[in-house]
Amino acid sequence: MDLSVKIGYCVLDHPIMNASGPRCTESSELCDLLFSDSSAIVSKSCTLEKREGNEKPRYYHNQYLSINSMGLPNNGYNFYIDIIDKINNHKTKPYIISVAGLKLDDNINIINEIHDKVISGSIKNIGIELNLSCPNLINKGQLAYDFENMDIYLSSLFSKVNIYHINMFGIKLPPYFELHHFKIVSDILKKYPIDFITTINSIGNGLYIDHIKENVVIKPKEGLGGLGGSIIKPTGLSNVFNFAKYFTDCNIKIIGVGGIEKGSDVFEYLLAGASAVQLGTHFYKEGIKCFTDLKEELVQIMKEKNYNQISDFKGKVVLDNVFI
């Protein structure tokens, strides 16, 4: 059975990887991912300088959801570039660096230094995921909701960066809720050399109250934070489904995120049009064994349905057999 998928110039052994955020900040965590069944290693979103992030407590989860206001804690971009050699010496699993500079010039510098690192040696399978959708920076909005400025931003970025030797370059997007927004964003993205989008980032500015303690569960932003977990899966699926409609005439692939906990969830995202998926909250709760579990569950579903490869069913959700 062939589970492989191609995004840009990277070939993934199967479509399941980690999402930037949980368990991918430190060297030991990235090495755990290297030797796990995750099809790629996605780093923590990195900034120019090391950041401690927002005050604690800044993360909470229960059976149904997670809420966080991390504030981009990370070790600074040099840390995530320097570890490339260590990863490359062991395996050729794709390594995707999540880039989240706090201003345009930061991202230009980071991306160009990653590119320089790649062309300086024989390093392969390096990707970049540009995060334009962090909802948890205090007093800073999400650029990906400001369509005109996002277009201007990307135009300036791509005029000043060299990504020729980057094997896959993508944009991490927030959830969109108005149907006409998908065409607007798609038309913008198709103007640039983008291989994939990652959708969705957490749903921003949710609020969870512990009714027993009569209090919010995280401290930053008066308890407001990005929502993840199983409750956001319908929104994640919707964003994949709606973007897929507009990418049939280009090579932009979709990595789906949001509420994935079982192999059937992966299957649903692929049916909706995703080429791959990322695990966030579930990975945080279950650890690296989740990649093996979900891959095996996906294989079992494909066997039961007589599918031999992902392309047999990707994007083929049936709309004319709606049960009421």
Angle of helix 263-272 versus helix 289-304 axis, rounded to 10: 60
β-partners of residue 206 are 225
65 lies in some domain = no
Is residue 317 exposed (0-12), middle (13-18) or buried (19+ Cβ within 10 Å)?
middle
Distance CA 200, CA 216 (A): 24
Angle of helix 147-160 versus helix 179-189 axis, rounded to 10: 20
217 lies in some domain = no
- Please give the pLDDT value at position 122: 53
Q: What CATH number does the domain containing 152 carry?
A: 3.20.20.70
* DSSP, residue by residue, 166-179: -SEEEEE-----SH
- Please give the pLDDT value at position 135: 84
Per-residue pLDDT of 117-158, as tens digits, reads 888 765 678 999 999 999 888 888 899 999 999 999 999 999
- Please give the pLDDT value at position 59: 98
Task: Note whether 163 and 113 are within 8 A (CB).
Answer: no
* Total number of domains constituting the chain: 1
Distance CA 16, CA 276 (A): 6
Q: Pick from 88, 76, 67: which is nearest to 44 by CA?
A: 76
64 lies in some domain = no
- Please give the pLDDT value at position 89: 63
Backbone angles phi, psi at 29, to 5 degrees: -70, -40
Q: Print the domain residue range for 168.
A: 5-53+72-203+229-312
Q: Choosing from 10, 24, 46, 134, which is the catalytic residue? A: 134
Distance CA 308, CA 303 (A): 7
- 48's tokens: 């120019």
Distance CA 307, CA 300 (A): 10
319 lies in some domain = no
60 lies in some domain = no
- Please give the pLDDT value at position 92: 72
Q: Is 290 a catalytic residue?
A: no
Look over the chain and give the mean of its residue pLDDT values, rounded to a whole number.
95
pLDDT in tens, the chain (324 residues): 999 999 999 999 999 999 999 999 999 999 999 999 999 999 999 999 999 999 999 999 999 999 999 999 999 999 999 998 877 766 678 999 999 999 999 999 999 999 998 887 656 789 999 999 998 888 888 999 999 999 999 999 999 999 999 999 999 999 999 999 999 999 999 999 999 999 999 999 999 999 999 999 999 999 999 999 999 999 999 999 999 999 999 999 999 999 999 999 999 999 999 999 999 999 999 999 999 999 999 999 999 999 999 999 999 998 776 654
What Cα–Cα distance (Å) separates residue 155 from each residue in 140, 148, 152, 317? 21, 11, 5, 34
16 lies in some domain = yes
- Please give the pLDDT value at position 318: 82
Per-residue pLDDT of 298-321, as tens digits, reads 999 999 999 999 999 999 998 776
Residue bearing tokens 């913008």: 188
290 lies in some domain = yes
DSSP state of 324: -
